[in-house]
Structures are given as C-alpha cells and as structure tokens.
Amino acid sequence: MNSGFGLFLKYFSRALMILLVMPIINSARGLAAKSQGDDTAEQAGRITLNPFMHLDPIGSLAILLCGFGWSKPMPFNVNRMRDRKKGIIILSLTGPLTHFLSAIACNLVMNIMLCSESIRMKLALSDITPIFCIFFILTILSAINVSLGVINLLPLPGMDGFNILYQFAPPKFLNWYHSNYRAINQASTIILLALFFMPTLTNGLFDPLGWLIGVVSDLLGGLTSWIPSTFGS
C-alpha cells in the first residue's frame, strides 16, 4: 500500500474515533450516571451521539495527531447518586469497558471478514480496495480503543482506575492525598508522560505501558479470533 494513502487512512480512522466512537463512550458514561440517579449529563444534553457536543479542541487534536486524547468532560454530580461509592465505581468502569467493547466489536467484524477466502487473499495482496481500507480502519480503531481503555484504568489521579481505588482507600491515604493533592497530581502527569516516552528514551527496550496494552489487546482479540477457523471457507 502506498505510504501516503496509509497515512491518510490512519488519520481518517482517528477522525472516526473522534466523531463516532467518543460520543458513544461519553453517552455510555452519561447513561451509567443516570442509572445511579444522577441525570446531570442528560439535563446538559450530553447523552447524544452528536459529536460536536463532546469535542474538546486540544483533546481531539491529540487523538488526531497521536492516537491518544480526550473529549469534553462529562458533567456529573455524585451527590445526586443513590449510592455515592457504588455510583462512582460504575461510572469509572463504564468508560474503559465501553472502549473494550468497541475494540471487541471491531475485532468481531474483522474476523467475520476473514471467514471469506477471497477477502483473505485480497488482504494478503495489500492492494488498495474498499475491503482492505475497511479492515485497515477497523484495525486502527480497535488499537485506539484498547489503548484508551487501558490508560483510563491506570491507578493514577485523573484516571478512572484511580477513582475506583479511591473508593476503597483507607482514611490515612485519603488524608495524605488531600494534603498533597497538587504535588501528587503533578507527579501523576510526569509518570504518565514518562510511560508514553519511555520506549523512545530507551530505544524500545522498556515499554511497560505498551506491554500492558499488548496483553489486553491479545486477551480481547482472543474472544473472536476463533471465528475464521470455525466458520471460514
């Protein structure tokens, strides 16, 4: 495949992530909050698939250029939830799980496509055909969703993973966190940036985040990888 066209497909896939997938992720969060008694997102008109209601200029640009970014924060009021602790846990799990389900959906379509011998032959040739473009786009969308799901589950402040652990933290930790809130969040940002740039700085020798993403990607891929061998022609 022409490298220029491959680059176009990569950015096109990231644009689809912004315009199609991120509204689904955010709407799922809003529905999760509503199920727990908080309809703040619904009242703000944020439970919608209209991408322009979810766009964050910097976050969208980051997704487009780097494959990682964010959308406009969803408005929530945890004090309106029937069970605050349970509500926060469900809300924090919804985003990553929706990303993983989106990746599984992409993998499912790809593996159904691979059931056809003619499609497998066309993909092997790497010729620029509609089938090849669709497969390529689905591959990128799956990878982005897995990456965002894993990153959001990291136990770092600002991430869903930290919000979940926070609900089970002992009072001593909570007091320490609130007493050092600013410094801890600055350290969290540094750690996250270090995880992103570590492969470059170590010439690919040390990439814990990439390893973790790869493990999750393999696990999710295994859920549908059996389809071609079972139903393939």
Quick one: pLDDT at residue 46? 94
Calpha distance 89→174 (Å, rounded): 17
pLDDT band of 2, cuts 50, 70, 90: low
> Could you report the per-residue pLDDT of 128-167, keeping only the tens digit for each?
888 999 999 999 999 999 999 999 999 999 899 999 999 9
Percent pLDDT > 90 in the chain is: 78
**How many other C-beta atoms can be found within 10 angstroms of the C-beta atom of residue 138?**
20
Query: Taking the chain, what is the end-to-end CA distance rounded to the nearest angstrom?
Result: 26
Better pLDDT: 96 or 1: 96
Percent pLDDT > 70 in the chain is: 99
> Could you report the per-residue pLDDT of 47-79, keeping only the tens digit for each?
999 999 999 999 999 999 888 888 999 999 999
Q: Is 121 exposed, middle or buried (0-12, 13-18, 19+ CB in 10 A)?
A: exposed
Which two tokens mark 59? 């976050």
Query: What residues contact residue 165 under an 8 Å CB cut-off, 6+ apart?
Result: 155
Nearest to 143 by CA among 213, 71, 88, 89: 213
In three-state secondary structure terms, 51 is helix
Quick one: pLDDT at residue 232? 75
